[in-house]
Structure 1
Amino acid sequence: MDIQPYTVTETLAVGRPWLMSTLGIETNETVTLDLTKFDETLHWTEASKYQPERKLKSGIPLAKNATSLLWEPYSPVTNEVQTLTVTGGPTGGTFTITWSGQTTAAIAYNATAAVVQTALEGLSNIAPGDVVVTGNAGGPWTLTWGGTQLGEDVAAPTTTESFTGGTTPDITIATTTAGGTATATDGSEIFRGFLFTEVSFYPGSTKVGAPLMVHGQIDPSKLPVAFDPDDIPAGSNTQFIYKV
């Protein structure tokens, strides 16, 4: 496997904005896709009533199933998921979250998920998209990491609370999904390349031939699905240069 950073942006063609440069090596091979493994919206779009073909999006990361020997979407490693829970029933006060040496502004004990996310994004080491916070006002809040932390084993944040009321109120943090863990063992966890072009198929089809790109220059931020080249497992026989 050889995946290296690259800094120049140049798209090659309409429909392939993730392909960065006409100067890169573009090596394709024909593979057979298992269409039952691809999801609508994420991987393909429905056609209009006047043109029944559906279209798989170009740039989908692909892998080969070791049992069926057909090709399907690459199963990436897991993203870190953490849960923050307020205990003890406080009726007032605030807390802060510290991550990687930086601390948020004070957050109300009954804050909404959006407020918690905004506080985290206020840190200079967390960019929009690095973490998504969900949950009810007052928690529990679920932190799902992505962006620059996509597929990473993210260190758990710490908290400092200044709650009032309740019974020994506190806030706990638990890791519900560890990041960086392979999600499959059937071969789909080994990245093999990208779907080079959009591929049309009719409703009811279960297989289709398609071009697999195994060499080239890519911009991961413009791929149709989240993809972090740093997290590709050993065993991939690919050569890509990517934008950083």
Structure 2
Amino acid sequence: MDIQPYTSTETLAVGRPWLMSMLGIEANQSVTLDLTQFDENLHWTEASKYQPERKLKSGIPLGKVEATGLYAPYSAVTNEVQTLTVTGGPTGGTFTITFDGQTTAAIAYNATAADVQTALEGLSNVNPGDITVTGNAGGPWTLTFGGQYLGENVATVTTTETFTGGTSPDITIATTTAGGTATATDGSQVFAGFLFTEVAFHPGATKVAAPLMVHGQIDVAKLPVAFDPTDVADGSNTQFVYKV
């Protein structure tokens, strides 16, 4: 395996906005994909009444399932997921979140997920895309780590509350998914390359032939799914230069 940083700004579109150079595409391999392993929206777009074929997105990282010999989405290490839950029914007040030594500004007890994410992105150690927050106003809020923390076992956040009302109001914090954990043992945890082109398939199909790109220059930020080259498992014989 050889994945190295690259700083060019050239981008080749034509359905492949993640591809920066044609270097190595002559080495594409023909493989068979296990369509049952790909998810709608994340990996493919639904057909319309005018266009019955679904389309797999180009640039999906792939791995080979040993038992079947078919290719499926590369099962990288997991991203950290933490959940914050307000307890005790507060009726007012604020709280702060501390992550890796940095503390947010005050956040309302009934904040929306967008409010919490904005507060976290105000930290010096959090860039947009590093932590995605989902949930209802007032919580629970789910913090999913990506960006510079993609695939890492990050420190658990802490909170400080100044709530009013309710009965002993507090925030409980749980790590629901630990980052940095291998997600598969079937062979798909070994990175094999990228899906080179969009691939059309009909609803109900379970397999389809596809070109696997094993050499080239890519822009990681423009791939259709999150991918951190530093987390690629050993054993891959691919060679990519990537934009940082």
Structure 1: runs of 5 or more not aligned: none
Q: How far apart are 1:148 and its partner, in Å? A: 2.3
CA distance in 1, matches of 2:154, 2:167: 31
Aligned to 2:114: 114
Letter in 2 for 1:82: Q
Is this contact kept in 2: 1:62–1:193, CA < 8 A? yes
Deviation at 1:47, TM superposition (A): 4.4
SS across alignment from 1:85: strand
Counterpart of 1:5 in structure 2 is 5
TM-score w.r.t. length of structure 1:
0.90
Residue 133 in structure 1 maps to residue 133 in structure 2:
yes
* Structure-2 change in CA distance of 1:175 and 1:15 (3 Å): same
Instruction: Determine the structure 2 residue equivalent to 1:88.
Output: 88
Deviation at 1:49, TM superposition (A): 4.3
Alpha-carbon contact 1:9-1:21 (below 8 Å) kept = no
| 171 and 207 in structure 1: CA distance in 2 versus 1, 3 angstrom threshold | closer
Report what 1:171 is aligned to: 171
Alpha-carbon distance in 1 for matches of 2:94, 2:9: 44
Q: Distance in 1 between matches of 2:243 and 2:74?
A: 20
Instruction: State the AA in 1 paired with 2:158.
Output: T
Q: Quick one: structure 1 residues 225 and 165, their matched pair in 2 at CA, closer, same or farther if it must change by over 3 Å?
A: same
d(CA) in 2 for partners of 1:144, 1:39: 19
The answer to which of 189-198 and 87-96 deviates more is 87-96
> 1-side partners of 2:152 and 2:28: how far apart?
30
Structure 1 residues 145-224: aligned runs within 5 Å: 145-224=145-224
Counterpart in 1 of 2:33?
33
What is the deviation of 1:124?
2.6
Give the counterpart letter for 1:68 in structure 2: T
User: SS of 1:192's equivalent?
Assistant: strand
1:10-46 CA-partner distances (Å, limit 9, x unpaired) = 1234111111123x33321111112222233322234
For 1:153, the aligned partner's letter is: N
* Amino acid across the alignment from 2:164: T
The whole-number CA distance in structure 2 between the counterparts of 1:69 and 1:6 is 32
Identical positions, percent: 80
Matches of 2:87 and 2:56 in 1, distance apart? Answer: 47
Contact 1:220–1:227, Cα closer than 8 Å, also in 2: yes
CA distance in 2, matches of 1:71, 1:201: 15
Q: What's the TM-score, normalizing by structure 2?
A: 0.90
- How far did residue 235 of structure 1 move? 2.0
Deviation string, structure 1 residues 98-141 (Cα, Å, up to 9, x no partner): 11222111112222222111111111321222212222332222
Aligned counterparts of 2:164 and 2:28: Cα–Cα separation in 1: 63
Distance 1:39 1:135, change over 3 A: closer
Point out the more displaced range, 87-96 or 10-19.
Answer: 87-96
Question: How far does residue 73 in structure 1 lie from its aligned partner after superposition?
Answer: 1.4
State the AA in 2 paired with 1:25.
G
1:225 match: 225
Within 5 A, what are the aligned runs for 1:15-34? 15-22=15-22, 24-26=23-25, 27-34=27-34
Q: Distance in 2 between matches of 1:209 and 1:144?
A: 33
CA separation of 1:49/1:233 partners in 2, compared to 1, >3 Å: closer, same or farther? same
Distance 1:73 1:167 in 2: 47
